[in-house]
Structure 1
Amino acid sequence: MPLPLFVVALLLFLPPAFAGAVSATLHALTRMTEAVTGLNYEGTFVYEHAGALETMRIVHQADSDGEREHLVSLDGDRREVVRDRDDAVCILGDAKPLLLSRLESRSAFPGRPRGDIDLLQGHYSIEQGDMARVAGREARALVIRPQDDLRYGYRLWLDEATRLPLRSELVNADGEVLERVVFTEIKVLDSADPAQAKAILARKAWARDVIGHVPAQQPVESARRWQVTDLPPGFELIDYRTFPAAKGRGGVDHLVFSDGLATVSVYVEPVSDERPLNGVHQSGAVSTFALVRDTYQVVVVGDVPMATAHTIGNTVRPLAEPGR
């Protein structure tokens, strides 16, 4: 992806050693994204968040037709996500499988950037750290520090051979680790395993049969109706969709913002007859802020500090009078 113009200018005028360091870190992030989406791999990782530990198994395949992925929990009740390109299903124990939207169906690989990494410049500093061994492989640390208190910091350990993130940590301003993902073993394959591909497609087909081949909820054609008037610096709107809601109610507007690493979702819908949501909830790195604006329910969810969720939620405004 092209570098922002000011980054190109910076590289032209900085001393060669510093310019090389900036280029190397950006290149490392770009290669990481390419590795996560373009390589064939399978492995087991431990996910630590909100005081809980979960062990997960992931199989990822990539070929000319796109990506396929199978994520399975190995602890507690069985949970799965099966993805074939943009088509994905979620299986929760004995409950009926759920279809996921296009945004929800993106790869679950831990440490994967959720937005455009070009947005990082000016809001994060990035530097390479020491070498370490993770899952029996040599990995280079990459330290991403926020330049304000509106976002979290990240520490990534990238496999020297493939640039896959073998370990990732999300930290707050005090250096406290809010989320940690560590691979205990990972295998990178030269090509997709046909048996694994068959198993993924068979699992998806079974889930589709149970669901009844109902298409995933698709956005409806609608002009943008909502905006955030005081968006924190560095965040940009990367997706806006309106989904049909329950009978007799208006649609649900879904706005997605990102600064290249963090992602914030804003949901706006008419207040239901049930008790509306008001208040905050923190679970590990994920902040949730809910409020009622006029006759609309606003819910903000993202891997950002609560102050950032507050700023976004409190400045959600209609672009025009809703309903007209």
Structure 2
Amino acid sequence: MRRNALMGNPLKLATLIVALAFFMVPQVYAQAQPEQGNREGAFWFNKMAAALRSLNFEAAIIYVQRDQVEPYRWLHGADSNGEETELVIRLNGPDFRAIRIGDSASYFIPSGNSYTVNASSLFGLIPPAFYQSFEEIADDYHVVAVGGARVLDRKAQYIRVLSNDGVRYGYSVWVDKETGMLLKATMVSAQGEVIEQLQLASLRILDGFPGHLADLSHVPKPPQLTNPSHESETQYQLEPTWSPQGYERLRQDHHRVLLSGNPVDYYLYSDGLSDYSVYITPVEQGDVHEWSIEGTETLYTELKNQFRVTIVGKIPLAIAHRVAAEVRMKVVEERPDGS
């Protein structure tokens, strides 16, 4: 009866259709807005990644972590064959330098522990994920385009990279609208606390390969570290058995800590945006202290089977606690002959 009444009264039917449309449009619009923001965010992230690979530039960059402020010089060039050369120089304190030519990255450390690794980006200043398509981290993060801004007297696009688990740290990023160049980046906790930030203080886009990079191919490289699966053997019975989704083991070895001289088994993990290290060392007599500090660098230690397990990195304390809890005795695989 109700349907027939409506069909017999075209005016009431038209009014109902308009009312339904009025209530449905905001819902459809609300669903479309996040999707559009995600697409635009991925577009600008990928434009930044392409710029970091292809642009020839010289830049001054300021890195800030709490009250620590470090200036760096940053140069990048891509030759006619597409091979990249990258140079980062710390301008204060000891003369630290990092050089990457193609997929070979060398770190020149004043203490003498310089080394070379196979890597398609330099580690430590710019997150490795910034050099890759967003699809590489899409399982663990999503990116949203927020709006326009002005950075370094340039029109910039502001995007946010947020963790899907709502726990690990994310990034606020400002990208030059004209070139796609990274202008500013801030690592932020899930609670909005600034962990670290970096910003370009100057930027010069060059027409050709930077002249200062031309002779770097002749600089003698430090010793080569092998791939993680073939690195030097660790020596203690404990090892990490768990890492968060998306984190890969980049390095493991046994060495002595520079300042204390204590021997440690060392493991380095990264998901492309953040990283953490695991140190396992024998407990000294009378050493019963355990530490738990969350900040710009999370520090968590616990004693386990006569060893001290220490987690250090740009990760929330909850993740550091889980990593330490999952450090277990190594499983010894039996040989085919039963030995």
TM-score by length of 1: 0.72
Choose from 20, 34, 41 the match for 2:57.
41
1:1-324 alignment to 2 at 5 Å?
Answer: 18-63=34-79, 64=81, 66-85=83-102, 86-92=104-110, 95-96=111-112, 98-102=114-118, 106-107=122-123, 110=126, 112-113=128-129, 117-118=134-135, 120-121=137-138, 124-146=141-163, 150-193=167-210, 195-201=211-217, 204-205=219-220, 208=221, 215-219=223-227, 221=230, 226-229=239-242, 231-232=243-244, 235-239=245-249, 241-243=251-253, 252=265, 254=267, 256-258=269-271, 260-268=272-280, 271=282, 279-280=290-291, 285-294=296-305, 297-318=308-329, 320-321=331-332
Which amino acid is the alignment partner of residue 305 of structure 2? D
| Native 8 Å contact 2:290 2:303 kept in 1 | no
Deviations 1:128-148 (A, max 9, x none): 122222222211100234455
Conserved 8 A contact 1:46-1:181: yes
Once the 2 structures are TM-superposed, how far is the Cα of residue 186 of structure 1 from its aligned partner? Answer: 0.8
* C-alpha distance in 1 between matches for 2:287 and 2:128: 34
Q: CA separation in 2, counterparts of 1:198 and 1:281? A: 47
Partners of 1:144 and 1:155 within 8 A in 2: yes
Deviation at 1:256, TM superposition (A): 2.0
Distance 2:150 2:58 in 1: 18
Q: Secondary structure at the match of 1:106?
A: coil
The AA in structure 1 aligned to 2:185 is S
Displacement after TM superposition at 1:30 (Å): 2.4
More strand by share: 1
Secondary structure (helix, strand or coil) at the match of 1:71 reads strand
Q: How many residues align?
A: 293
- Aligned partners of 1:289 and 1:310 also within 8 Å: yes
Please give the secondary structure, in 2, of the residue aligned with 1:113: helix
**Which 5+ residue runs of structure 2 have no aligned equivalent?**
1-29, 257-262
Q: Is the 8 A contact 1:281 1:289 kept in 2?
A: yes
Contact 1:117 1:261 in 2 (8 A): no
SS of the residue corresponding to residue 151 of structure 1 reads coil
Is the CA contact 1:71–1:108 (under 8 Å) kept in the aligned structure 2?
no
Tell me the CA shift for residue 44 of structure 1: 0.5
Partner Cα separation in structure 2 for residue 276 and residue 116 of structure 1: 46
Output the aligned Cα RMSD. 4.0
Output the CA distance in 1 between the equivalents of 2:328 and 2:123. Answer: 31
- Pairwise CA distance, 1:40: 1.9
1:150 counterpart letter in structure 2: V
C-alpha distance in 2 between matches for 1:104 and 1:294: 38
- Which digits, 9 at most, give the CA deviation of each residue in 1:16-73, with x for residues without a partner? 6543332222232223222223322110111111212121111112333633222122
Q: Specify whether residues 17 and 299 from structure 1 end up closer, same or farther in structure 2 by C-alpha distance, changes over 3 A only.
A: same
Structure number, greater radius of gyration: 2
Cα gap change, 1:17 to 1:148, in 2 (>3 Å): closer
Q: Distance in 1 between matches of 2:230 and 2:250?
A: 11
1:318 Cα shift? 4.4
Amino acid corresponding to residue 230 of structure 2 in structure 1: E
Structure 2 CA distance, aligned partners of 1:192 and 1:275? 58
